[in-house]
Amino acid sequence: MELRNIQRSGSTHYVYLPAQWCKENSISLDSKVELNVSPDGKLMLSVFGTEKPKESLIINVPDGDARFVNNYIKAAFLNPLKSFKIKLNKDINPSDILRFKEHMGGIDFVEFSNKEITCESPTYSEEPDVLLSMIVRKMLSMINLIIENHNKELVERYEEEIDKNNISIRKSAMGTLTFKRPSKLKHIELFYIVEISAQLEKIADHVVKGDLSKEELKHLSEILRLIQKVMNNSNIEACKTFFNLIHEKEMKRIHNHLNTISDVFIDWSITKMIL
C-alpha cells in the first residue's frame, strides 16, 4: 500500500498518479482514465481503452461429442460476453440436451435449437467474496436439511444454487482479469477465492451423494462456520485453527478438498502480510 497526499488547486482536489503505473499502462497526455465507485465506497481508477471488448460472439464448432461442445458452452459463458451463439454442423437431439444440462452446473439460460446454441449471458454485480460467503451459507443450510431428513428436492435445489454461485465467481473473476472490470478485490485475492469456491462446490457434491455420515456432516458444519471466520481474518492463528480442525476427524471423501482450502488460506495469510 502506498499513501499519497491530496493536493488542492482552488476548489479542485487531485492526487498524482504513480509513475510506475503510468509506465506499465502507457499513460500519455492523450490517455483517458475511468473512475468507478465500488460497493463499499472505494474510488477505483483504471485505464480507459479505446478498443471495446466484444460483447457478443459467434462460434463455429465442428462435429464433436457432447462433452467437447459442452466445454465450449462453459468457456463462452465464463468469458465476459453479453451473448454468444454456437453453430454446429449437425442437429442436437434431446439426449444431447440432457447431457449438456447435467454438466453445466445450473446454467439454465442456454437455449438449444436445431444446430444452434444461444445464450444471453447475465452480468453479475456481486463481488466474488460475497458470492463465496453465499456458498458457505447455502452449504450449511443444505447440511441442516439432510441431517433433519427434509425434502430431497429442496436439498438438490441448494446444490444447484451452489453450482451457480461457483460459476458466477469464475465469471466475475474472469471479467475483472480480462477487461479490468472495477473490483474492490486484488487479483491475487480473486485467484484464492476462485480456488476455495471450486473446492467447496466439490464438497457439496459429496454431501448430496450421501458420502458423509450425520456425524461427519455435523463436523463439516463446524468447519464451514470456521471458513466464514477465516475469510474475514485469514491470519496465521486462524489458519492454524482451521488446519487443526480439518485433521481432528479426517473425512476421507472430502479431506483433499479441505486440505486444499487450508493451503489456500495459509497462502492468503502470507499475501496479506506483504500487500
DSSP string, the chain: ----PPEEETTEEE-PPPHHHHHHTT--TT--EEEEE-TTS-EEEEE--SSPPPSEEEEE--S--HHHHHHHHHHHHHSS-SEEEEE-SSPPPHHHHHHHHHTTTT---EEEETTEEEEEPPP--S-HHHHHHHHHHHHHHHHHHHHTT--HHHHHHHHHHHHHHHHHHHHHHHHHHHH----SS-HHHHHHHHHHHHHHHHHHHHHHHT-S-HHHHHHHHHHHHHHHHHHH---HHHHHHHHHHHHHS--TTTHHHHHHHHHHHHHHHHHHHH-
Residue 59's DSSP bridge partners are: 86
User: pLDDT category, 115, cuts 50, 70, 90?
Assistant: confident
Section 122-147 average pLDDT: 85
The residue length of the chain stands at 275
Range of lowest pLDDT (43-47, 85-89, 140-144) = 43-47
User: pLDDT category, 220, cuts 50, 70, 90?
Assistant: very high
What pLDDT is attached to residue 182? 66
User: Which pLDDT tens digit goes with each residue over 55-114?
Assistant: 788 888 877 666 787 788 888 877 877 788 888 887 766 566 656 655 555 455 677 776
94-98, 109-113, 170-174, 268-272: range with highest mean pLDDT: 268-272
What pLDDT is attached to residue 109? 63
The domain locations on the chain are 7-47, 56-120, 128-274
Strands 116-120 and 110-113: antiparallel
Which DSSP string do the residues of 144-171 spell out, in sequence order? HHHHTT--HHHHHHHHHHHHHHHHHHHH
User: Which pLDDT tens digit goes with each residue over 180-194?
Assistant: 666 778 889 999 999
Range of lowest pLDDT (3-12, 53-62, 125-134, 266-275) = 53-62
The answer to whether 50 touches 34, Cβ cutoff 8 Å, is no
Q: Which candidate, 250, 260, 154, places its Cα nearest to that of 198? A: 260
User: Which is more confidently placed, 120 or 59?
Assistant: 59
The answer to whether 104 touches 137, Cβ cutoff 8 Å, is no
Q: Which candidate, 162, 76, 79, 152, places its Cα nearest to that of 118? A: 76
What pLDDT is attached to residue 198? 96
pLDDT at 206 over 90: yes
pLDDT at 174 over 60: yes
Q: Could you tell me the CA-to-CA distances from 123 to 75, 85, 271 in Å, in that order? A: 15, 17, 29
pTM: 0.70
What pLDDT is attached to residue 94? 58
How many other CB atoms sit within 10 Å of the CB of residue 17?
Answer: 14
Phi, psi at 126, each rounded to 5°:
-70, 140
Residue whose C-alpha cell reads 460467503 in the numeric block: 133
Q: How far is CA 81 from the centre of its chain?
A: 16
pLDDT at 233 over 60: yes
- To the nearest 10°, report the CA torsion of 109, 162, 54, 76: -70
How many other CB atoms sit within 10 Å of the CB of residue 216?
Answer: 19
Percent of the chain with pLDDT over 70: 85
Percent of the chain with pLDDT over 90: 32
**What average pLDDT does the structure give for the chain?**
83
Interhelix angle 187-209/128-147, rounded to 10 degrees, is 20
